[in-house]
Amino acid sequence: MSNRVAVIGSGNVAEALSLAISANDRYDLVQLWARNVDRGRLIASLAGCVYENDPQKLAAADIYIISVSDRAIREISEQFDFGDAIVVHTSGSCGADELSSVIPRQGVLYPLQTFTAGRTVDFQEIPFFVEAADDESFRAIFSLASALSGSVYRSDPELRRRLHVAAVFVCNFVNHMYVAGEQLMQENGLDYGLLKPLIAETIRKMLTSPSPRPLQTGPAVREDYPTIEKHMALLDNNPRLRDLYRMITESIISDKKNNS
């Protein structure tokens, strides 16, 4: 069994994976390797494993998880001799070929979740997407993912990138809508927190529904043009938010026409 795992990196994904693997009975986290000493030491101490930042002292492992920024994957993967161990990255956007081409057994372990330093999430429900160049590596990575989560799928670079785009809409773009809401509240001397009951209820409804489309409410889906006009006029002093308002409103109306 390939049960020795080393994590390379000190970002939020590296932290979350390190903690989850160290808490797992079937795998041993043998090392946290990271250039960033402060973050590296912190994560290693939280996960109860050895910290290292000397490229010459990478621990022997069966699976190496390179969890660094997309731009650094290539360089980091070229820095080590992994022998015939399995090496994966965790990026939503990079091809499997982003890893050094001299690594014989390589793959991808992509968790569809947002991670934050210091926050614990329930790994059992995180969807993991697995890729590998050969079947044996695939089975080993799939087994690791299955030890962490009840939701593991075979993927490919194209599919993973599409998942990443969907994630951008429902996570990053949603957050930007909150930033816009906060700005509008602040411009009126109002506390952003007043929006939170509305935000929380919007999500509770959505999470208990099989599809968000029937839940669409508001002036756009009602094609309530007088209200839309009033809102646009109010945003006249903020062309960026006005253009955003207009474009999303148009998209809601167009989506409704295409799906009714």
**Among residue numbers 200 through 239, which ones bind a copy of itself (CB under 8 A)?**
200-203, 205-207, 210-213, 215-221, 224, 226-227, 230-231, 234-235
> Between 24 and 114, whose beta carbon lies closer to a copy of itself?
114
Contact with a copy of itself (CB under 8 A) among 57, 78, 93, 136: 93
In the chain, at which residue ranges do the beta strands (DSSP E only) sit?
4-8, 28-33, 51-52, 63-66, 86-89, 105-111, 128-132, 152-154
> Between 52 and 98, whose beta carbon lies closer to a copy of itself?
98
Q: Which residues of 149-173 are buried (b: 16+ CB within 10 A; e: fewer)?
A: bebbeebeeeebbebbeebeeeeee
- Which of 199, 167, 184, 169 has its CA nearest to residue 240? 184
> Between 104 and 153, whose beta carbon lies closer to a copy of itself?
153
Number of residues near a copy of itself (by CB under 8 A): 87
> Between 44 and 76, whose beta carbon lies closer to a copy of itself?
76
- Which of 81, 82, 99 has its CA nearest to residue 90? 99
The interface with a copy of itself within residues 22-61 (CB under 8 A) comprises none
The interface with a copy of itself within residues 158-177 (CB under 8 A) comprises 159, 161-177
What is the distance of C-alpha 74 from the center of its chain? 20
Residue 12 Cβ, how far from a copy of itself at the closest point, in Å?
A: 9
Residue 160 Cβ, how far from a copy of itself at the closest point, in Å?
A: 10
Residue 248 Cβ, how far from a copy of itself at the closest point, in Å?
A: 5
- DSSP-derived secondary structure letter, 125: G
- Which of 91, 7, 5, 75 has its CA nearest to residue 43? 7
> Between 4 and 242, whose beta carbon lies closer to a copy of itself?
242
In terms of Cβ atoms closer than 10 Å to its own Cβ (0-12, 13-18, 19+), residue 12 is: middle
The interface with a copy of itself within residues 107-126 (CB under 8 A) comprises 112-114, 116, 119, 121-122, 125-126
> Between 19 and 85, whose beta carbon lies closer to a copy of itself?
19
Q: Strand, coil or helix: what is 31?
A: strand
> Between 50 and 253, whose beta carbon lies closer to a copy of itself?
253
Residue 71 Cβ, how far from a copy of itself at the closest point, in Å?
A: 8
Asked if residue 154 binds a copy of itself (CB under 8 A), the reply is: no
Name the phi and psi angles at 156, rounded to 5.
-150, 165
Q: Which two tokens stand for residue 238?
A: 């903020």
